[in-house]
Structure 1
Amino acid sequence: MTKLIILDRDGVINWEPGGHCARHPDEVRLLEGSAAAIGRLNNAGIKVAVATNQGAIKKGFFDEAMLAAIHRRLLELIAVDGGHIDALFYCPHYNEDQCRCRKPEPGMLHDVAEHFACSLDQVPFVGDDYRDVLAARAVDATPIIVRTGKGEETEQRLKKKSDQDVPVFANLAAVVDQLIGDLI
């Protein structure tokens, strides 16, 4: 059985400058404790995948080469704390494209399952947006929300919908504390 966790990128691992995704490697800033949390997952033998919507490509804010540079910078910063991402998946489309890979659609998560040759049943998927909850549920993964990024807004949305079965944590480090504690 593959031990795996799926993370959204913006608002979970890194800060969103000005309320939007990083558009240049110089804008990549990790949220406090996220790199160390990823390192702890790695040390516990848990594979780490990232699944991120990057509609800014479709909108023309940057191209896929710039996204690759942004991801290289992200990986460099995570490595400073001894962590690494095992696989990174992204959707370059925007809502009106009606693709199967843009969350909340499950296509990108199906790609994660194929890459790791595993079922996503009960695999934790940590996000900050309601679309992450919907995507996780579409593949029987376990949705988890962090209050960083859009998480506080998402937490309020969950409460309004009486959708109380989604655990909410302060940040990625708190999620990892719980997950690793459950493994011990």
Structure 2
Amino acid sequence: MRADHAHGMKLVILGRDGTINRYRDDHVKAPEELDPLPGALEAVARLNHNGWHTVLATNQAGIGRGLLDMASLNAVHLHLNQLLAEKGGRLDAAFFCPHTPEEGCDCRKPLPGLIKQIGERFDVELDAVHMVGASLTDLLTAQNAGCIPHLVLSGPLGVLESHQLQEVLASVPGARVHADLAACAEAIIQEGRRRAAEERGQALPPDTQAGDLN
């Protein structure tokens, strides 16, 4: 049993489109169609440097529909990891559902099957796992799997008026909202530091200003 296993591995599950790269209506079918959002790759690296493992969880119905094949999807994710490596970050794994909605699988988000696979693979309790996405589907997936739900406004929901956004969020109590992945990563890191300090019975680390607690 590893020393860090007492509290489980620190894990953040990330949606892909609208969270890490710009959302495309027509699917990302090839590496050159993957357009990273500003600051997103750096945010993953920052999480990694602070001890967080990051895993991708994405619906890829384009495979079931014949719009792209496994080799193309693997090429896209290889490219993403190469871009991350340039920033000093990495994804531990990319989990995806290849099915169309009509196939009735249990791994297509918002069903929790894909997230449960990740929990089993990494031997983590899902209630301590942060899940970040850009859609209501991602929030519902986190809720259904028992993860901590985070919404980033760097995808399609970013254009909503405030009252429209509140309507979306009403179905996922406790969801946390961030401008983008960089802001979300910072919040997760700071909360992790506070938790670790509390568990050690210490005050906050010296680089955290008291004002950050508001």
Counterpart CA distance in 1 for 2:134 and 2:27 is: 13
Change beyond 3 A, Cα 1:10–1:22: same
Instruction: Give yes or no for contact 1:7–1:125 (8 Å, CA) kept in 2.
Output: yes
Q: What is the percentage of aligned positions where both structures have the same residue?
A: 37
> What's the C-alpha RMSD, in Å, of the aligned pairs?
1.7
- Quick one: which amino acid aligns to residue 72 of structure 1? L
Change beyond 3 A, Cα 1:157–1:91: farther
**1:43 corresponds to 2:52:** no
Structure 2 unaligned residues grouped into runs of 5+: 1-7, 194-214
Q: 2:14 aligns with which of 7, 10, 14?
A: 7
Tell me what 2:131 maps to. Answer: 125
Q: CA deviation at 1:156?
A: 5.8
Counterpart CA distance in 2 for 1:22 and 1:91 is: 15
Q: Which runs of 4+ in 1 moved over 6 A?
A: none
How high is the TM-score relative to the length of structure 1?
0.93
- Quick one: which amino acid aligns to residue 62 of structure 2? A
Q: 1:177 aligns with which of 183, 186, 193?
A: 186
Instruction: Give yes or no for contact 1:125–1:142 (8 Å, CA) kept in 2.
Output: yes
- Quick one: which amino acid aligns to residue 55 of structure 2? A
Tell me what 1:88 maps to. Answer: 94
Q: CA deviation at 1:139?
A: 1.6
Task: Kindly indicate which of the two structures has a greater share of residues assigned to helix.
Answer: 2
Counterpart CA distance in 2 for 1:54 and 1:153 is: 24
**1:152 corresponds to 2:161:** no
Q: CA deviation at 1:158?
A: 4.9
Corresponding residue pairs, total: 183
SS at match of 2:67: coil
Change beyond 3 A, Cα 1:157–1:8: farther
